[in-house]
A and B are shown apart, each in its own frame.
Chain A
Amino acid sequence: QSALTQPASVSGSPGQSITISCTGTSSDVGGYNYVSWYQQHPGKAPKLIIYDVTKRPSGVSNRFSGSKSGNTASLTISGLQAEDEAGYYCSSYTSSTTWVFGGGTKLTVL
């Protein structure tokens, strides 16, 4: 099972919006509405920020939003803040009844 494809890095200035893509296949991202996103600060455990493609857990800022088109899911962060600087990972359920993560994207807030 290959990892989902994410850009290695993205950057943006405070107040701007950025989008991170997550590309898979019809056997994972494209086949199910089971894409989730995780934020990981250095030295910390991952934290759920988006699930079921578009849903936000209680307590997560509405600056985070998710979407999907075909085999590519996306995470958008609007109104960038310094605290958003972190690693971001997508995940998807697969037709093999397993799960797969993306390679991760490092977000730098300039």
Chain B
Amino acid sequence: EVQLVQSGAEVKKPGESLRISCKGSEYGFTNYWISWVRQMPGKGLEWMGRIDPSDSYTNYSPSFQGHVTISADKSISTAYLQWSSLKASDTAMYYCARLLFGYSSNWFDPWGQGTLVTVSS
């Protein structure tokens, strides 16, 4: 079964750094992109950006460019989302999702289980 398994919940203070992970299994990790999606408490989904694990090319939503960094280590089939200085407004659930774009098709599937990030002093 194709799966994305994310790292566990995090509680951090403002100004701290953080990296969360998303490990793919049962598929060719470099054959698909990985996207990150934010869901703030009680709110909708927001596309943050994506990475091509085969060459680590990334592109970001303008809303998140410069605020987060997406990376990947294809040797261990894992993608990452990181912050250098967290803010309280970063408190949210973060999902990774496998992204297909090409061959005249586009979808996000499957999704990881989500990582809850809480930033509070």
Contact = CB atoms under 8 A, between A and B. Distances in A.
Interface stretch (A10-18, A19-27, A41-49, A70-78): A41-49
A107 interface: no
Interface stretch (B13-21, B56-64, B73-81, B84-92): B56-64
Contacts of B9: none
B111 A89 contact: no
Which residue among B37, B60, B107 has the maximum number of chain A CB atoms within 10 Å of its CB?
Answer: B107
A100 B63 CA distance: 11
Which range holds the interface residue count of chain A?
20 to 34
B27 interface: no
Interface class of chain B by DSSP: strand
Contact of A1 (B59, B63, B114): B63
B47 interface: yes
Interface residues of B, number: 27
B71 interface: no
A1 B62 contact: yes
A38 B45 contact: yes
B95 interface: yes
Interface in B37-61: 37, 43-47, 50, 59-61
B108 A91 contact: yes
A103 B106 contact: no
B23 to A, nearest CB: 15
Which 9 residue pairs are nearest across A and B when measured between Cβ atoms? A51-B107, A104-B44, A34-B106, A48-B109, A45-B111, A101-B45, A99-B47, A103-B44, A36-B107
Interface of A: 1, 3, 32-34, 36, 38, 40, 45-48, 51-52, 55, 57, 89, 91, 93, 96-104
